[in-house]
Amino acid sequence: MVDKSTVGHIHMSGCTGCLVSLADNYGGLLTILDRYADLVYGLTLADVRHIPKMDVALVEGSVCINDKLSVEEIKQTREKAAVVVAVGGCACYGNITRFARGGQQNQPAHEAYLPVGDIIKVDVYIPGCAPTPQLIRNVCVMAYLLLKGTKEQKELATNYLKPLMMAAQRGTTACFCDLMTEVINQGLCMGCGSCASACPVRAITHEYGKPQGVRDLCIKCGACYNQCPRSWFSIDVVSAYEAINEAIMAALQ
Amino acid sequence: MGTELGNYKTCVSARSTNKELLKSAQDGGIVTQLFAFALDEGIIDGAIVAVSKEFALKNPSKCMAFNPTLDDLEPWRSIPAVVSTKAELFEARGTKYNISPNVSLIKEATRSFGLDKVGIVGTPCQMQAVRKLQLYPIGARDVGASIALAVGIFCMENFPYQSILQLVEDHAAMKMEAVKKMEIGKGKFWVIGKRGQVVQLPLKVTHKYEQPGCHVCLDYVANLADISTGSVGSPDGWSTVFVRSKIGDSVWAKAMAAGCFETQPIEKVKPGLELVTKLTNEKITKNKATLEGRKTFGVGKALRNPYI
């Protein structure tokens, strides 16, 4: 395909788990790179020193504000990329880096980390610690359709990406508490169990059909809230699940 | 016909041809028969179902450990479990009428339970949760493609356990331990005792005990399941079945070919789809009004709307 989009992977302060998740699409990743996207920037993956102009920047990790280069690079990312996607809990919400207190060799003064959205405007969130290969894949395919697809494909991609864009607008903090304040306290929880299954640290159980969180275990990744069908739910998009899944699988054939 | 009943390829009235199964099935034994067939055929290698204490004590490794421990589970309290044999599946038969967070086991089913092809039964909201996590897998790595059969059950609303306790012990004046079956039908909540005694409560009495989260739900007949089923629309002992997705269509065709179900055309049975449609519209209309009311709930303050 001639008309590929250009994509870069920007590595801020993260554990590289998000990049591994991207790679865990195996053949699917190769198909994406063959047909839909050229990787124009990425540590160890593309031999490019400075952040180039690109369509989509996938940013992993939070920004260490004590590190001049990180701050400089995240600002450049915003200037150079048409769409900035925060990939993973750290980029979206700070996640485990919220608990950083510095004192780590060889940069003991690096102690303050902020989610990307606190430094620049972010367009799309892919929450999760680690984000799943499948969601990264879906967003890659949808981003391509949005930029290069037909009118109908653009509409489908817009509808699919809308909640992830709304998540980016909603804010840069996440916690099990979101389930309490935005779902349970709002009288919306019906006890389906999604949150407990989504939690990467098993901090959530259900008692009498309602979620209980061990808040000391919570790493603030945002998976529970975003996986909850009562945080955000598009009846139209989810009702077309069969067709959308088929379209994505066909795109990767 | 409107879109209130969701997309479906086939709708019939059906019951299992397994007489033993029907003896303690809720209605037509559809869910149990479907999973039994799918286990036999290797379509699924296990299923997430709701179980109660007797099952949990016998098969503790099949349940998710919650607090309180399994020993402390009250009679009729439901918790999710993964069953992987027909014997286990049969022990889990019947509707429990209180919340079982089945989706909480969906990832674990593919991890420590080692399933590659997962079956899950759930309410319409749980089917919504399943489809959301397939389309937007945020905390569900490699789970979506493992969901091999999602069976939905019709649901007007669900009850917290304590509500069922209050309905059975205070309103129906029966001990929870003594209850053989609970049922909603013909405008009544039925509590049937092990000695054969029957108490019926008008549904009106039960309304204030409903789970509030159910009042924003716009799905009665599990529109997003592969196959959805419930008693409404069919005669006693039969269930109405909607076959919805490609997966559902394929499983249903195989199960029919294997003689698992006896069916009647839905057009030929009473009360038929007319009642299903009526109740669906009642639920949607009532809950749309609730969502509308949430917009102006406070003074210049709205309650949150989950739908976008």
Q: What is the ipTM for the molecules in this complex?
A: 0.96
Task: Please give the residue of chain B at the shortest CA–CA distance from A21.
Answer: B141
pLDDT on residue B233: 96
- Which residue ranges make up each domain of chain A? 5-173, 177-235
Quick one: average pLDDT of B268-291?
Answer: 96
pLDDT score of B68:
56
Q: Two tokens at B120? A: 């899950």
Name the strand (E) or helix (H) holding B197.
Answer: none
For residue A85, the model assigns a pLDDT of: 97
> How confident is the model at residue B69, as a pLDDT?
75
Size of interface A-B (CB pairs under 8 A): 179
User: Which of A225, A95, A236, A100 has the alpha carbon at shortest distance from A160?
Assistant: A236
Question: Which pLDDT score, from 0 to 100, does residue A28 have?
Answer: 92
Structure confidence at residue A45 (pLDDT): 82
Average pLDDT of chain A to the nearest whole number: 95
What is d(CA B174, CA A89) in angstroms, rounded to the nearest whole number?
50
> Does pLDDT of B250 surpass 70?
yes
Q: What CATH code is assigned to B159-209?
A: 3.10.450.750
Asked whether B4 and B281 are in contact (CB, 8 A), the reply is yes
Q: pLDDT over 70 for what percent of chain B?
A: 98
Q: Tens of pLDDT along B46-77?
A: 999 999 888 988 998 898 765 557 888 899 99
Let me know if A99 is exposed, middle or buried by CB neighbors in 10 A (0-12, 13-18, 19+).
exposed
User: How many other CB atoms are found less than 10 A from the CB of residue A7?
Assistant: 26
Nearest CA in chain A to B138: A128
Encoded amino acid at B72, one letter: D
How do residues A73-125 score in pLDDT, each as one tens digit? 999 999 999 999 999 999 999 999 999 999 999 999 999 999 999 999 999 99
The residue type at A4? K
CB B36 within 8 A of CB B261: no
| Residue A247 preceded by cis peptide, ω within 30 | no
Shortest CA gap B244–chain A (Å): 11
The reported pLDDT for the residue numbered B185 is: 85
CA distance B189 to chain A (A): 21
In the predicted structure, residue A42 carries a pLDDT above the cut 50: yes
Sole residue written with tokens 């697809």: A149
Handedness of CA A144, A145, A147, A148 (dihedral sign): positive
List the helix and strand counts (H, then E) for chain A: 11, 9
CB spacing of A194 vs B161 below 8 angstroms:
no
CA atoms within 13 A on the CB side of B205: 16
Please report the pLDDT score of residue B1 as a whole number.
Answer: 44
Pairing of strands B147-153, B179-185: unpaired
pLDDT (0 to 100) of residue B66: 58
Residue % of chain A over a pLDDT of 70: 99
Cβ burial, residue B82 (10 Å; 0-12/13-18/19+)? buried
Q: Is residue B307 within 8 Å of B291, Cβ to Cβ?
A: yes
Distance from CA of A3 to the nearest CA of B (A): 26
Rounded CA separation B17/B237 (Å): 12
B298 touches chain A (CB under 8 A): no
Strand order in the sheet with B188-193: B179-185, B188-193, B198-202
- Minimum-distance CB partner of A197 among B6, B104, B308: B104
Contact B163, B98 (CB under 8 A): yes
Q: Is the CB of B228 inside 8 Å of chain A's CB atoms?
A: no
Whole-angstrom Cα distance, residue A46 to residue B178?
69
Name the band, by pLDDT with cuts 50, 70 and 90, for residue A2.
low
Cis? peptide before A66, omega within 30° of 0: no
d(CA B269, CA B235) in angstroms, rounded, equals 7
Cα first-last separation, chain A: 14
Select from B269, B188, B279 the least CA-distant residue to B15: B269
Question: CB A138 to CB B135 under 8 A?
Answer: yes
> pLDDT tens digit string along A3-21?
899 999 999 999 999 999 9
B135-186: per-residue pLDDT in tens? Answer: 999 999 999 999 999 999 999 999 999 999 999 999 999 999 999 999 988 8
Q: Compute the distance between CA of residue A196 and CA of residue A203 in angstroms, rounded to an integer.
A: 7
- Is the separation of the CB atoms in B79 and B91 below 8 Å? no
Q: Where in chain B is the domain with CATH 3.10.450.750?
A: 159-209
Q: Return the structure tokens found at B160.
A: 């917290």
Contact A110, A61 (CB under 8 A): no
> Are A64 and A112 in contact, with CB atoms under 8 Å apart?
yes
Q: Is CATH 3.30.70.20 the classification given to domain A177-235?
A: yes
Interchain contact, B126 vs A223, CB within 8 Å = no
pLDDT 10s digits, A132-172 = 999 999 999 998 899 888 999 999 999 999 999 999 999 99
Contact B193, B180 (CB under 8 A): yes
Residue with tokens 């007007």: B156
Q: Does domain A5-173 have CATH number 3.30.70.270?
A: no
Q: Which among A90, A83, A92 has a CA at the least distance from the CA of A139?
A: A83
